[in-house]
Structure 1
Amino acid sequence: MSIKLMKRATFLCPTVTTGGPEAIHQVAQVLNEEGLPTDIAYYGDGGRLRLDGARLVVEQPAENPCLEAYARYRPVVSPGALLRRHHLLVLPEVLAGSAPVFRGASVAVWWLSIDNAPIVADPAALRLLLADREVRHFTQSAYAEDFLRRTGGRGSDPLGDYTDPRFAALRPQAPNVVPGVAYNPAKGAELADAFFAANPGLRGVPIRGMTKDEVADLLCSTQVYVDFGHFPGKDRLPREAAAGGAVVFLRRRGAGAYAEDFPVPDFFRFDEEDLASGELARRIAAVQSEPASFFAQQEPLRTAVQGEQETLRAQVRALLGSRPAA
């Protein structure tokens, strides 16, 4: 059934405060603002979702950090739902294998990542899901869209997220000046450790144990940010770093390899061979020697990040189209 005909929407969301749940809260807010009543059914921390006939029963979690962390998105907590065709139920990719369970509703899978979805490890189950004409697919990244298409999907609709406005509103006019190399040790730790061990002249600045404000201060002052992760989706930290004025280097994996997701020249992408040969270190040294020149080359990325909120709203409006009166 067309999303234009939906009367309500419910997103299923784990009770963790990471990039995916934040994206869910962002889109739920925009859908509410654009006229489709949307709530969020949380699971985890004692919260449980179960079916009672044609009803989705939501047993609320004892603790739900999302409500405080994402209060600015004004989340509406789902009390449960009847599974009817005019009710859109949106599953994060980690629950994609459960899509047939909710057959009474109109079901969509939102591919916030590819590599983190368990069903991707089961090609036969994935093919069955993608062949199911009753399930829609939304994609957060060009990487996800391309993966589904190459795997046999019939098509998907783009549905993104947006970078925290405290970054997107910065509009830096010159590169950051502190000559460090910021990185996230939670992703690609082995590569990062080997890289900095082989290049002791580069001062690595791990983003670890910091508040959001401390991360913002770091990314708005440090000259270079390197992401050693595998980019299961369009990750937030490199976008935040670019918006903060850092020159960003991306591992050529997953969404990091796609110009649609990160519009930077190929000079700023690297692979394991570039690490081993010293090429990445030479490129970072070049940036440190002429930061203004390389900063200018990443203007398309900063512009894209600054426009993400408007892009998301346009995507939602395209999905909803001209809606009939309630």
Structure 2
Amino acid sequence: MTKNLTEINCLPATKIYIFCPAGYATGGPEALHQLGAKLKRLDFNAFMYYYSTPGSVDIVHKNYEKYNVPVTESIENSAQNIIILPETHLLPIFDDSYKQVRKVIWWLSVVNYYITQNNLTQSLQHKKHFKLKSYLGKYPTASFGRLKRRNDVQHISHSYYSQVHLLEQGIKPIGRISDYMNSAFFDMVNEGTPKENLVIYNPIKNDVFLDKIIALTPTIKWVPIKNMTPAEVAALMNKAKLYVDFGFHPGKERMPREACIMRSCMIIGKTGSAAYQQDMPIPEKYRFDKSEDQIPEIINRINECLTNYHELVKDFAPYRQALYKEEDQFEQDIQKVFVKDK
């Protein structure tokens, strides 16, 4: 039976190493830095350990220098220590260099786990990548079957969606720790900005389903969020009445949370974490299946949000309030999982 970290306790001498891709800025790396910063603030002995990624330049990305988490280039292979791995970097589980260290996977994205494992499998099979194949051949792929057999590997879910998926695979997480919105984004909220009849969306995350809806609503002003700085995104969200997202949500996505903070109404699909009230607590009437027969109702809801914005935006107030409390919840969840001896 795999022990729980809350049963083991993090002793004062315990070192916690957080593995993170070097010089990479997305939601996952920021969550890893948030974890490191909060652990340090709670007097845990935490360090960032960066591993190289294609195109890595800077070790610590400039966006995350503010978290001031100590960096280490070596790991003490001791049973009292812990390494925390994102689900996209699981080779250390099978590396003898970390044989004694306790291992924890933080499941930031279910989808990215499968993408990574599929890429590794293809690399092992492709003869042209003989150098990579020689390296990866030392280690097996991290299938759920192998993970379940490892008593030195424990699991933390990031979203309720990842928790459900782990349980379906026969793995019981020791806890759930989400991330929180960057405080810099809250500073860009301007409640005095007049709302306009704008519908915003992320074209990278959506597909032909949303394209069909856009084509059927030529009188509506749709604005894609692309090639914008964070300040430009915030300025647009401050003006927009509605955010629409029918993309796949591999975890608790940041852009929907940003839109909600900026007082936009929301219309969301039912894929990934977006399907669960625990991850996105909005009324069900704003959540739709991606099916052709739903499109007329979706368009009706879009028009309702634009014409009756000031009344319907109240439906999203509870979610918005929860987002303002995410950092406090983050700290509480960390304390539930990582416990030090008194």
TM over 0.5: yes
Query: 2:283 maps to which residue?
Result: 265
Matched, 1:114 2:106: no
Partner Cα separation in structure 1 for residue 187 and residue 266 of structure 2: 18
Matched, 1:247 2:262: no
Matched letter for residue 63 of structure 1: D
TM-score (norm 2): 0.83
Query: 2:10 maps to which residue?
Result: 5
Give the direction of change, closer, same or farther, for the CA distance of 1:220–1:148 in structure 2 (3 Å limit): same
Query: 1:210 maps to which residue?
Result: 228
Deviations 1:78-136 (Å, cap 9, x if unpaired)? 22112211111011011236523233211000100101103776999213213422211
Report the CA distance between 1:171 and its aligned residue: 7.5
Query: 1:129 maps to which residue?
Result: 147
1:1-326, aligned counterparts within 5 Å?
2=5, 4-6=9-11, 7-15=14-22, 16-45=24-53, 62-64=57-59, 66-96=60-90, 98-101=92-95, 102-118=98-114, 125-168=143-186, 177-273=195-291, 277-324=295-342
Q: Helix, strand or coil: the match of 1:13?
A: strand
Q: Which deviates more from structure 2 when the two are superposed, residues 104-113 or residues 149-158?
A: 149-158
Report the CA distance between 1:260 and its aligned residue: 0.4
Structure 2 spans left out of the alignment, 5+ residues: 122-140
Partner Cα separation in structure 1 for residue 69 and residue 236 of structure 2: 29
Partner Cα separation in structure 2 for residue 275 and residue 209 of structure 1: 33
Contact 1:169 1:306 in 2 (8 A): no
Q: Helix, strand or coil: the match of 1:270?
A: coil
Partner Cα separation in structure 2 for residue 275 and residue 246 of structure 1: 25
Identity of aligned pairs, percent? 27
Deviations 1:237-275 (Å, cap 9, x if unpaired)? 000110011112221100000000000011111222267
Contact 1:85 1:105 in 2 (8 A): yes
Structure 1 spans left out of the alignment, 5+ residues: 48-60
Give the direction of change, closer, same or farther, for the CA distance of 1:10–1:322 in structure 2 (3 Å limit): closer
Give the direction of change, closer, same or farther, for the CA distance of 1:189–1:157 in structure 2 (3 Å limit): same
Q: CA RMSD in A?
A: 2.5
Contact 1:174 1:292 in 2 (8 A): no
Partner Cα separation in structure 2 for residue 97 and residue 176 of structure 1: 50
TM-score (norm 1): 0.87
Partner Cα separation in structure 2 for residue 270 and residue 114 of structure 1: 21
Give the direction of change, closer, same or farther, for the CA distance of 1:238–1:38 in structure 2 (3 Å limit): same
Partner Cα separation in structure 2 for residue 11 and residue 257 of structure 1: 29
Partner Cα separation in structure 2 for residue 29 and residue 13 of structure 1: 13
Give the direction of change, closer, same or farther, for the CA distance of 1:212–1:322 in structure 2 (3 Å limit): same
Report the CA distance between 1:71 and its aligned residue: 1.6
Q: Helix, strand or coil: the match of 1:220?
A: helix
Report the CA distance between 1:42 and its aligned residue: 1.5
User: For this pair of structures, how many residues does the alignment match?
Assistant: 310
Contact 1:175 1:295 in 2 (8 A): no
Write 1 or 2 for the structure with the bigger share of strand.
Answer: 1
Give the direction of change, closer, same or farther, for the CA distance of 1:201–1:12 in structure 2 (3 Å limit): same
Give the direction of change, closer, same or farther, for the CA distance of 1:203–1:117 in structure 2 (3 Å limit): same
Partner Cα separation in structure 1 for residue 318 and residue 75 of structure 2: 42
Matched letter for residue 30 of structure 1: K
Partner Cα separation in structure 2 for residue 230 and residue 305 of structure 1: 21
Query: 1:53 maps to which residue?
Result: none
Give the direction of change, closer, same or farther, for the CA distance of 1:148–1:306 in structure 2 (3 Å limit): same
Give the direction of change, closer, same or farther, for the CA distance of 1:275–1:302 in structure 2 (3 Å limit): farther
Deviations 1:152-194 (Å, cap 9, x if unpaired)? 1133311110012234467877996111111111112333323
